[in-house]
Structure 1
Amino acid sequence: MKNSLLILGSTLLFSVTSLFAQQPGPPPAPIPVEVMFGNNRMNFQLILNKPIDAKGKFSFFNVTNGAVDYHNKNEETEIVVVNSINYDLGNNFKAGAGAQWHFKLGLVPILGVQYFKANPTWLLLVSPNICLLPSTNMEVVSLVEYKPSLSPKTRLYTRAQILYNQVLDGGIHARSGYTFRAGISRQKFTYGIGMNFDYYGPFKAEKLNTGAFVRISL
C-alpha cells in the first residue's frame, strides 16, 4: 500500500513540475533527484523550487523524502512530502506556509522561514518551521553543499544535511537525521558514497544506512 502511495505521489509531483515548466519566465532551476542504495535500505530525495508569478516573489517549494528496505516491509517504508508556498522577503530570506504529508502523522500544517543562498561552488539552506498538528513541533532543516570545480566538465560534490524535530511541549525529541554525501559531478549526473544516520522518537531509535548514491539534475 505504501509503495503504491510512493508511486502515486511521484507521478503527481512530476505532473505539477511539468505544469510549472510550461509557464513563461526565466530558465527553470534544476530539480535534483537522488537515490541511495544502502546496506540496509534505499533512500530517495527530490527537491523542487519553482517561481509561480511573473515577478518571482512567490514560489512553490517541495521536498520529498522516502525510504524502503529491500524486503518491502510496511513498517520500514517511509515517505514525507513537504509542500509550501513561499514569499520572497529579500536578502535571501523567504516566509512560507504549507503542509507536510507524513507517512505516520498524516497531514501536518507548517509555517516557517527559509534562508537560501547559492553560487556554482556553494549552496546553503536553513529552514526553521513550526509544525502545527498533531502536536506543536519545531523543525529545523539545514543543508550545505560544496562543489568546487576539478576540471572544465567535472566537479567535486559534497553535502551535509541536518534535520531536527522536537515537540515544544516538554522538549521531547521526535525525529532527527544526519545525511552526508561525497562524490563527483559530470554534467547532470552525480555519483558517490553516502551515509544516513536517522533517529526516531523520544528514545532516539537508531537506523543507519551506508552505500552508493546517484543524483540527476532534471
Structure 2
Amino acid sequence: MFFKKKSLLLLISMTGFISVSAQTVDEKPHPRPPMPVEVLIGNRGLNFQFNTTKQFNPNSRFGFFNVTSFFADYKNVVAKNEFFLQSLLTAKLWKKISAVGGFSINQFSGFKPTAGLQFVHANKKMLVVIQPQVGLTQDHHLENFSLFEFKPQINDKWGVYTRLQAVIDYAPSLKSHNRSYVYLRVGAVYKNYQFGLGSNFDFYGPTKHNENNFGVFMRAEFF
C-alpha cells in the first residue's frame, strides 16, 4: 500500500528531526545488550521468540530493534499457526529516548510500515521498553509494544526472573481492535539462562477473540 501525502510528510519531518537531534546528543558507549531466544512449551502449542537490540557500533546513536515470534499448533491446524515480526531502525534523540521507523508484520493484519518513539531503561536488575508507533498506511493504526523485566540476583550464578510483555494494535479510523497479547513469565536465572512458568494471552480481531497458552519456558541470552 502506498503512503499518503501526510504519511510522507510525517516521515520526512521525523527524519529531519533525527538528523538535527543526533548532532546534539552526548552519546556514551554502552555494554552490548544480550539477544534472548525463548521457547514456551504450552498446553495448546509451542511459542518461539527471538529479540535483537543492537547499535551499529558501540559509539553510534543509530541501531536496530527486532522482535520475531511464532506459534505452532501441536495438531498442525494451519489456521492456528501464526507469526509476529517487528523490525525497526532506531536513532537516539535524548538519553533513554529514540526515534524508530520500520515495519510490523503479522498474519492477521499483514504488512504495516510504522514510525514512533522508544523509551528504554536498563540496568542489571530491570529492563523497561515502551514503544508507541503510528502506522504509515491509510488506516493509521496505533501500535504499542511494552516490555518489563525484573531479575534480581540471589548470588553470582542464581537469580529470580519475571517478565511482562504486551502488544496492542488498534485502528482508530475503523474503531477496530486488530491484535493484542500479554505474555507473563516467572522463574529462575542461572548465569545467562532463564526458565520457569509462562502464560500467553492472545486476542484477535474486532471481537477480541481470546486464545491462551500455559506451560514452561526456557530462555538463553547470547552476547
Distance in 1 (CA, whole Å) between partners of 2:149 and 2:183 is 12
User: Is 1:157 the equivalent of 2:161?
Assistant: yes
Identity %: 32
Counterparts of residues 207-218 of structure 1 (less than 5 Å)? 207-218=211-222
The residue type equivalent to 2:178 in the other structure is A
- Displacement, 1:26? 6.8
- Displacement, 1:80? 1.6
- Displacement, 1:188? 1.5
- Displacement, 1:105? 3.6
Distance in 1 (CA, whole Å) between partners of 2:146 and 2:122 is 14
- Displacement, 1:48? 0.2
1:167 aligns with: 171
1:143 aligns with: 147
Distance in 2 (CA, whole Å) between partners of 1:196 and 1:179 is 5
1:99 aligns with: 103
The residue type equivalent to 1:213 in the other structure is F
1:130 aligns with: 134
2:3 aligns with: none
User: Is 1:201 the equivalent of 2:201?
Assistant: no
TM-score w.r.t. the length of structure 2 is 0.82
In structure 2, runs of 5+ residues without a counterpart are: 1-28
2:9 aligns with: none
The residue type equivalent to 2:204 in the other structure is Y
2:19 aligns with: none
Larger radius of gyration: 2
Q: 2:74 aligns with which of 70, 87, 98?
A: 70
Larger RCO: 1 or 2 (CA < 8 Å, sep 6+): 2
User: Is 1:80 the equivalent of 2:84?
Assistant: yes
Kindly tell me the number of residue pairs found equivalent between the two proteins: 194
- Displacement, 1:206? 0.5
Q: 2:43 aligns with which of 39, 42, 49?
A: 39
User: How large is the RMSD of aligned CA atoms in angstroms?
Assistant: 1.6
